[in-house]
Amino acid sequence: MFARRILLLAGTLALACVPSTAVAQAPAPGERIAPGVSAAGVPVSGLTVEEAAQRLAATYGARLKKGVSVTVARRTTRLYAKQAKVKFDAVRSAKRALYAGRKLAVPAPGAAPAVVDVPLAISYSKSAVRRFARRADRRLSRAPRDAKVRITLRRVRVTHSRTGRGIDHSALAQQIMVAFGDPRLERVILPKLIVTKPRVNASQARRRARTVITIQQSTFTLRLFRNLKLRKRYRVAVGLPGYPTPRGRFSIVSKQVNPTWSVPNSPWAGELAGTSVGGGSASNPLKARWMGIVNGVGIHGTGESGSIGTRASHGCIRMHVGDVIDLFNRVPIGAPVLIG
């Protein structure tokens, strides 16, 4: 009895310790795959390589030709197996199962048999998969759009913001490769949508445009907008043809009550050129209020009421004294000014 046990143990050890050269040897004629072996979940134990290859081809051949679909944000794009150069080698897959079976140890008496599941021999073009993933990202992606204040001479409005979106194309490529490598996996991939918020939303844009001034030189009209709505119109005078009022988008940079006039060093200023005239002086043309805009040009009251509605100034915007006081109290520093 003891000798018999020794012989059984020796036989078990011999089967368990199969030399690596035996695993690499080509299949012997009629050799069958060991018990407990499957390929991508398909049992192939007891089959020859040819029989196992036929079973694997029948099970997965058609599925491996279908490619994958990517669905995100209600858009679906497809990468066909032909485009990705997917190739399935059923014979090589069967040989993998055979070689894996050779490595299995013979179970001890009463023990559960060892099992192994080998992957299929599938190849594909990684570069084609990565190109597809980048292309899918480009088609879907959009940059976030900030809300903006749109100012025209007659209207102020705010365009709405829009969130940006995109996907992680590297992660998507990896998901596709994993799906191509295992036909048991789902062929519809739902990558995570990455949402990016705009820096400025509509509410923020409205706050920035709470007070807006526009000056339409052709009609000598200054318009005051509050909270995107036209609140008041004022008649003004603008620059002479030789001293035009600048055109463009500016803002109120300073405010003064009874401003001092720093006389420009210009021939038209006569003997006052380069001097300063105190606020309230009869010789000071800047009456009552001053709202500076750009390069010495601003909005101010005038004692020459008859000039209102004409091109009469040296670049500034003139207003009736009562009007400029009213406007001054309504306009903060930093308010946008559009002159056209």
Position of tokens 């993933």?
Answer: 133
Assess if residue 158 is contained within a domain.
Answer: no
CA dihedral for 94, 100, 106, 108, sign (positive or negative): negative
Note if 17 is an active site residue: no
- Of 231, 243, 332, 326, whose CA–CA distance to 288 is shortest? 326
Assess if residue 152 is contained within a domain.
Answer: no
Shared domain for 115 and 222, answered yes or no, is: no
Shared domain for 321 and 216, answered yes or no, is: yes
Shared domain for 335 and 216, answered yes or no, is: yes
Assess if residue 298 is contained within a domain.
Answer: yes
Shared domain for 106 and 10, answered yes or no, is: yes
284 SS3 class? coil
CA dihedral for 88, 91, 97, 99, sign (positive or negative): negative
Question: pLDDT tens, position by position, for the chain (340 residues)?
Answer: 333 333 333 333 333 344 444 556 899 999 999 999 999 999 999 999 999 999 999 999 999 999 999 999 999 999 999 999 999 999 999 999 999 999 987 767 767 778 999 999 999 999 999 999 999 999 999 999 999 999 999 999 999 999 999 999 999 999 999 999 999 999 999 999 999 999 999 999 998 889 999 999 999 999 999 999 999 999 999 999 999 999 999 999 999 999 887 766 676 666 556 566 777 777 788 899 999 999 989 999 999 999 999 999 999 999 999 999 999 999 999 999 999 9
Note if 160 is an active site residue: no
Shared domain for 9 and 119, answered yes or no, is: yes
Q: 30 — alpha (psi -120 to 50), left (phi > 0) or beta?
A: left
Residue 274: count of CB within 10 angstroms of its CB: 11
Residue 231's pLDDT is what?
Answer: 97
199 SS3 class? coil
Residue 279's pLDDT is what?
Answer: 76
Active-site choice (160, 314, 316, 320): 316
**8 Å CB contact between 273 and 281:** no
Active-site choice (17, 160, 300, 320): 300
CATH number at residue 303: 2.40.440.10
Assess if residue 74 is contained within a domain.
Answer: no
How far is the C-alpha of 82 from the C-alpha of 88, rounded, in Å?
A: 12
The beta strand positions in 137-281, using DSSP E, are 148-151, 156-159, 164-166, 188-189, 194-196, 211-216, 221-226, 229-235, 238-239, 248-251, 254-257, 261-262, 276-277
Assess if residue 198 is contained within a domain.
Answer: no
User: Which residue range is the domain that position 42 belongs to?
Assistant: 2-62+88-123
Shared domain for 231 and 112, answered yes or no, is: no
Shared domain for 327 and 221, answered yes or no, is: yes
How far is the C-alpha of 148 from the C-alpha of 249, rounded, in Å?
A: 14
Assess if residue 191 is contained within a domain.
Answer: no
Assess if residue 70 is contained within a domain.
Answer: no
**8 Å CB contact between 85 and 125:** yes
Assess if residue 221 is contained within a domain.
Answer: yes
Residue 319: count of CB within 10 angstroms of its CB: 27
Domain count, the chain: 2
Query: Bridge-partner residues for 149, per DSSP?
Result: 158
Instruction: Name the pTM for this structure.
Output: 0.66
